[in-house]
Structure 1
């Protein structure tokens, strides 16, 4: 990207532009792109027929004029009334051709069960012919009137349970009015994309012409929508790498067919699917879907503001635009990423440069693509000078400019958004009123010390203002002039926490070199930076990094160096010590992870008697034997009936009746002391679940009819079944050579009622048995698209390796699927060879080296309360891997090491 300056015209004056373009009906025809060819739409089994709906085809004129006409947004009334929608409200997608609206709609329809309605097909259904035919046979006025009538019917007769895709033809003046009215009660998402990707799809205009059209159309589309999603394009090369691309075919099937031969493929549209589904779950407050997405990351189960010593990485917007930033590499060890919209001095940039709003939207998409932590959106109130000694360094961004930038942030649905408490009260009230599910952080940064410092009345008045406005949190800072100011900020925090009214969380710290200590000990979302940005991007002597904060907390004895273990009867081969120790080191943690091999369960006593015991992985054969020794278990471990992670309970946790009910994150302690009890959890299911998610293409999105198959009946098979149930699979089959064991496994789950709240008995998950590999697939069920094998692939105790292959009659899914083989000795098992040979039919293969780090990330979070350095841990696992049976394919390992990017679930 090129260097970015503040473009006031794009954001501040977009309402004026909209009125200008609408002053003459049809002056700007947004249907110009649609007039090239009639849009080709998806028919991937998701497009519902409109014949099963009572679609009115008469009295449209009366319907149009019975409703009050919506008013155009004005400068004084440009804020949406609300962004709180009913969970089942229909969702509308708008945007010019080539932005990928239809692909996103298919993805959402498949995942959520919403009915997909396409405006072109709806027009044909209501009018009896296509738009092009109707336009040829009627004059322009009649065509426009029919366009408005059809749009009215489509929107108001499908207000719930639908995903509606609007084409360019719906964006004439009357259509804009209807969309603005609909946006008062429904999510209307403006889908944005980079000009290169749009041009590549259209194959008609050059990129410059597309950019020019975007500058004209962007303000109009934004005026008709209340939300925005940047469709960050990606393709998968035949070599298996996953890269941001300028091309994304609108045909879902043609993209899904681009599957590499590699063992860890990342399919085109896969991460777009994750991004978009997460975005929709957030804006609609779909807590069930959000919980399903976040359950794989234990830290996500608790609000970030409720955890202690949390950190927020500040990422300057200008740095994202000017340099290549590896966001995933910067994210570990922090609890949130704060995008800082740092407005620079006015620059004489060419008018053809991309709109500032598009660049902000793109920056948010980049952060979401590479992170799993919440996003904080912050607009700086002062212009950042291009040179530190600039005379304009105190120039304040006007309320008008500030409001436009904040509004753009709210459209993107960040988890948190800051508001400058020194701004106009009406502006602040508008932000809070229209924030939707975004939490608001009242922000006040004083450039000079308050007259009374932290002990004066000024700080308390700012806190009271934030609370009265309805802010969810307050962030307040001032320069430190002496070291004692760091004690004063703690007194202020203590004073607020003891107010008689219910307090809101406070982020309070000092700025300047003398204030660094207060940043290290601020308990909530301390802003930190990274050395990558350097002083040229705003890093100054008063800034601290996440690693520096971690080291300060340990060196000052707030935290203690803990000892972690892998406990089992035969764990000398374990790669977990190398993986976790490398993670501890890079995060600035003085912990140590070791092997503890014991022929008896009683060896566990030695671990828990250690006052520095921080937790342990549990290996065979103790995953079930350890359960009677536990004082509490997570719901996951209890449902699976096996434990692979134990965490010590200290202090008064045992007296807390909630201890067995809440997430084990509550039990996280990095403080030494006597162990009073043990809490058990299971992360094996998380490793399997994340691999299924990663390898399951959008074409195989989990539906009511989806079928899964588990091979084996041991502890990992239990975890595999649980992961499928968690993902929403209702039909699960088990095959095991010993049928009695398979039957016991099926009974274990069939007598439970997992994730079935509100479901009819016939809709609940059911585990069934397959008796013989010669049997045909049961005709009453669809072919499996998810297969997990939990049987070993090497010889054990002199017994030959099973050399298991899935019967070909069980692999007839027309869209392929994902196979996860939990074995990795040898790496290239017979099952993996079989599935990779079927990649041309849509089958994706993942192995035990994919699962191991995934479950390790969750263990790291449970042990430390910090996000794991995922890429590093994956790298260590691959580097440490050795095959005792000399089947080790080093070329395959090296290939995987070169293609670690893009492995975010």
Structure 2
């Protein structure tokens, strides 16, 4: 993972960050990266890391040579607008020689002393808004280890970067950029330093090796930087968690929806990845049963967490059972000290949840709770005697003990002797004030699994073994809720409001999603000639929500009791939901979120948004408002609108400029070559129809509209081209992006059907509090889309539903 030009180029100075984004990493991350689909709740106790007072505290990266520290530091510095400092580069600039030549003439000991002085000076004078990449051997000296330990404790973050050992050792062996190790091999040095890195760091980050496309010598391509996008995403997920910006937690308070977790019972998480889409259906969190893994080696565990995170945004519960409650007990040689070290290691990995058995030694519990930061503690108690009852005094004593140990969520598992034990469980949970996972085991206790509200453990037929006997699948819990407890999961009707809507893809989308997750709901079209007819539909007791398309996106607003801030700014609502408790209806807009998601997904680290970033929006109609808002939300302040009716575009520009005095929106009434835009745009969004029909000769079919786009209109640094029209797979804009890519410029084209899917995923989450089954929905929608498109059906393009 070493793209030399990206590594060696200097990131923008701190003052170069976009002025519309407050100059601090948390604000950038919050606006520049979407929150998790499951939502987030504030930290339950201390802010992680516990002793860091400011989110502006400098970030120090340590780890073996070749793990990608400088590359990661460069990406991070660019994204945050901070300064990058590299101890190796500082050394070579100060001494006007390469490290290879210096070590060859002066020896390693002399180099280590100078490196130590450089490290001390950098950490003393750069405590905020710096990303500092350290050489692989800084942990060799006790003096440096003490300094890093003190720095992580009170001043900033020290993050240990890990990478696949074999790949790194191969890189070191073949590289001419580093001097050879003396008296030992690179592998021996790695093994000896591992303990030092763990002792010195606040957190671990595993930079999973990604394939970098080949390029010419001394050049870097956009595709090479795009290949690093997963590394950037994973690292900022860690930073968001550490700084408490998005702790990626499952909502568990009053009024929160039911939540579910699935225990991955593989001995290697990598075995689950080919099945990850199916395994994740309906669930809100993963549980990693550490005691079932093939190894308890710290590096192995770090990679297990990293692999799962790379393929899923869901939070992780780290579980280590102390007693043989499952099908395999802990190894007897797993001592108290090892258990303590494993939980501390989990905290350094930034896992969202840790489950602590209430019968663990008190010293372990106190250690973990005191260091938990933004990790949520689930305190658990499993009755293996089968003698305890929810009616007896022991239940309250167990609950009080778990709360007293500092747990944020209580988990109590008993064995049901009769059906009435489920009723006793319900009475007990109704009187406690802490979020609780309460389950009865055995055949008589299955009802409790269905009715449990918080992080209900479920199983899946694709798992190699069950985590606990008697678990149901998510699908089974939903169908049981619907059939046996219909008041808890009542059937709802959802609609698309608009006219004309006969060929909409929305019924295919949502009915496929409902059926896949075992939900009893239905989605249908409601085509009306006036908006007033919709009020009667909304008043129906089984009304669950509605998508809204033209011509009612604005006209529907007077019928709503609440409109989100986003929808108010955009001036359009495309999603309606009933307010719980009969409080009327609320409206939101998911179009802009779909645009934002696609922009961030494909914008390369090399094109991180700064104050000089430019974007071009084609069209000034209703959907362009969502495009402008999405651009503003990711920090773009230099936006150009091209529209044939200049007056409409200027009115739109003036309206949006009132959002922020730093916004600079300019209007073009035609596209010239070259454009009066510098630098050229790295984001182009088309909100206009892609085709037109010859009114005199309708049998001629639709023709692509040529608005004068030219290859020079797109940045030579690459970028993202988004087409909101979806009546054609390839439009003029997408063809141009493909032409640029064929010429070696990393432009990514995003089809309109992708935007349709993204906004629908968000609608589904709003209505059901569940993530849409994306793979199944996408497959079905594309099947219908291709069949309809092949028949020549003209799909509306001024809206997404």
TM-score, structure 2 as length reference: 0.86
- Who is 2:35 aligned against? none
CA–CA distance in 2 between the matches of 1:164 and 1:364? 25
Q: Which residue of 2 aligns with 1:808?
A: 710
Please point out which of 1, 8, 18 is paired with 1:43: 8
The one of 87, 90, 95 aligned to 1:122:
90
* Structure-2 change in CA distance of 1:134 and 1:882 (3 Å): closer
| Pairing 1:427–2:392 present | no
Give the equivalent residue in structure 1 for 2:482: 554
Shift in alpha-carbon separation, 1:306–1:313, aligned structure 2, 3 A: farther
Superposition pairs for residues 579-594 of structure 1, below 5 Å?
Answer: 579-594=509-524
Q: Which residue does 2:635 correspond to in 1?
A: 728
1:872-897 residue CA offsets vs partner (Å, 9 max, x unmatched): 222222111147675989xxxxxxxx
820 and 103 in structure 1: CA distance in 2 versus 1, 3 angstrom threshold: same
Q: Which residue of 2 aligns with 1:633?
A: 563
Question: Structure 2 matches for 1:353-432, cutoff 5 A?
Answer: 356-382=297-323, 397-432=334-369
Question: Structure 1 pair 885/325, CA: closer, same or farther in 2 (3 Å)?
Answer: closer
Report the count of equivalent residues: 740
Q: Secondary structure at the match of 1:326?
A: helix
Measured in 1, the distance between the counterparts of 2:280 and 2:62 equals: 32
Alignment CA distance shift 1:797-1:622 (3 Å):
farther
In the alignment, the residues of structure 2 paired with residue 803 and residue 196 of structure 1 have an alpha-carbon distance, to the nearest angstrom, of 52
Question: Aligned pair 1:865/2:769, yes or no?
Answer: yes
CA contact (8 A) 1:455 1:488 kept: yes
Name the structure 1 match of 2:147: 178
Is residue 218 of structure 1 aligned with residue 194 of structure 2?
yes
Is contact 1:198–1:210 with CA below 8 Å preserved after alignment?
no
Q: Residue 399 of structure 2: which of 444, 459, 463 is its match? A: 463
Partner residue in 2 for 1:678: 585
Q: 1:564 to 1:396 in 2, by over 3 A?
A: farther
Matched, 1:542 2:470: yes
CA distance in 1, matches of 2:436, 2:207: 35
Aligned to 1:193: 163
Closer, same or farther in 2 for the Cα pair 1:202/1:881, shift >3 Å? farther
- 1:335 is aligned to 284
Quickly say closer, same or farther: Cα 1:704–1:449, change in 2 above 3 A: farther
- Are the equivalent residues in 2 in contact too, given 1:316–1:342 (CA < 8 A)? no
Report what 1:472 is aligned to.
408
Separation in 2 of the partners of 1:813 and 1:330?
A: 40
The within-5 A match list for 1:46-445 is 46=11, 82=50, 84=52, 86-138=54-106, 141-173=109-141, 174-185=143-154, 186-199=156-169, 201-202=171-172, 204=174, 214-235=190-211, 254=220, 256-258=222-224, 267-285=226-244, 287=245, 290=246, 307-316=256-265, 318-320=267-269, 325-343=274-292, 356-382=297-323, 397-445=334-382
- Using the alignment, how far apart are the partners of 1:475 and 1:439 within structure 2? 13
Please show how residues 697-708 of structure 1 align to structure 2 within 5 Å.
Answer: 697-708=604-615
Counterparts of 1:81 and 1:831 in 2: how far apart (Å)?
A: 46
Q: RMSD of the alignment, in Å? A: 3.2
Is contact 2:252-2:454 (8 Å) kept? no
Task: Identify the residue that residue 783 of structure 2 maps to in structure 1.
Answer: 879
Please state how far the C-alpha of 1:734 moved relative to its aligned partner. Answer: 0.9
Mapped to 1, the partners of 2:209 and 2:217 lie a distance apart of: 14
- Structure 1: 5+ residue stretches without partners: 1-36, 50-79, 238-247, 260-266, 295-299, 348-353, 498-503, 655-676, 754-760, 890-905
Counterpart check, 1:854 vs 2:758: yes
Q: d(CA) in 1 for partners of 2:682 and 2:663?
A: 16
The equivalent residue for 2:735 is 833
Question: Taking structure 1 as reference, are residues 303 and 801 closer, same or farther at Cα in structure 2, changes over 3 Å only?
Answer: farther
Instruction: Mark the runs of 5 or more structure 2 residues left unpaired by the alignment.
Output: 15-47, 176-184, 697-701, 794-801
Give me the whole-angstrom Cα distance separating, in 2, the residues matched to 1:528 and 1:849: 33
1:566-614 residue CA offsets vs partner (Å, 9 max, x unmatched): 1110111111111111111110111111122222222313421322111
Contact in 1 for aligned 2:719/2:748 (Cα 8 Å)? yes
8 Å CA contact retained: 1:357, 1:408: yes
Structure 1 contact 98–250 (Cα < 8 Å) conserved: no
Q: Distance in 2 between matches of 1:792 and 1:377?
A: 50
**1:725: Cα distance to partner?**
0.9
8 Å Cα contact 2:286-2:317 kept in structure 1: yes
Give per-residue Cα distances to partners, 1:412-461, cap 9 Å, x unaligned. 1112222222112222111111112112221222222354x112222222
Is the Cα–Cα contact under 8 Å of residues 414 and 438 in structure 1 kept in the other structure? yes
Contact 2:49 2:202 in 1 (8 A): no
Distance 1:157 1:596 in 2: 65
Counterpart pick for 2:658 among 751, 756, 775:
751
CA distance in 2 between counterparts of 1:456 and 1:251 reads: 74
* In structure 2, C-alpha distance between the alignment counterparts of 1:157 and 1:710, rounded to whole Å: 44
Label 1:792 to 1:606 Cα distance change in 2 as closer, same or farther (>3 A).
same
Q: 1:304 to 1:122 in 2, by over 3 A?
A: farther
TM-aligned CA distance change 1:816 to 1:305, over 3 Å: farther
Alpha-carbon contact 2:139-2:193 (below 8 Å) kept? no
Give the distance between the partners of 1:123 and 1:155, measured in 2 at CA: 15
Q: Distance in 2 between matches of 1:493 and 1:301?
A: 19
Output one character per residue of 1:225-278: Cα deviation in whole Å (capped at 9) or x when no partner: 1211111233377xxxxxxxxxx999997463359xxxxxxx411222211111
Per-residue CA deviations over 1:657-676 (Å, capped at 9, x if unaligned) read xxxxxxxxxxxxxxxxxxxx
Tell me which moved more, 604-613 or 813-822. Answer: 604-613
Whether the 8 Å CA contact 1:445–1:477 is kept in 2: the answer is: yes
Q: 1:522 aligns with which of 452, 476, 484?
A: 452
- Counterparts in 2 of 1:805 and 1:378: CA distance versus 1, 3 Å: farther
- 8 A contact 1:381–1:397 mirrored in 2: no
Q: Is the 8 A contact 1:825 1:884 kept in 2?
A: no
Alpha-carbon deviations, 1:805-854, whole Å to 9, x = none?
56437625231110001112121112211110001212111110111111
d(CA) in 2 for partners of 1:682 and 1:514? 45
How far apart are residue 167 of structure 1 and its match?
A: 1.3
Deviation of 1:320 after TM superposition, in Å, equals: 1.8
Q: Do residues 765 (structure 1) and 672 (structure 2) align?
A: no
Equivalent-residue separation in structure 2 for 1:135 and 1:713 (angstroms)? 62
Determine if contact 1:99/1:193 at 8 Å carries over to the other structure.
yes
Counterparts of 2:765 and 2:146 in 1: how far apart (Å)?
Answer: 49
Tell me, what secondary structure is at the counterpart of 2:489?
coil
TM-score, normalising length from structure 1?
Answer: 0.76
Report how far residue 547 of structure 1 moved: 1.3
Cα distance 1:447–1:85, how it changes in 2: closer, same or farther (>3 A)?
farther
The answer to whether structure 1 residue 492 and structure 2 residue 399 are counterparts is no
Deviation, 1:308, is 2.6
Distance 1:364 1:251 in 2: 35
Task: Tell me: CA distance 1:884–1:323, structure 2 relative to 1, closer, same or farther (3 Å).
Answer: closer
* Deviation, structure 1 residue 218: 2.1
How far 1:477 moved relative to its partner?
A: 1.2
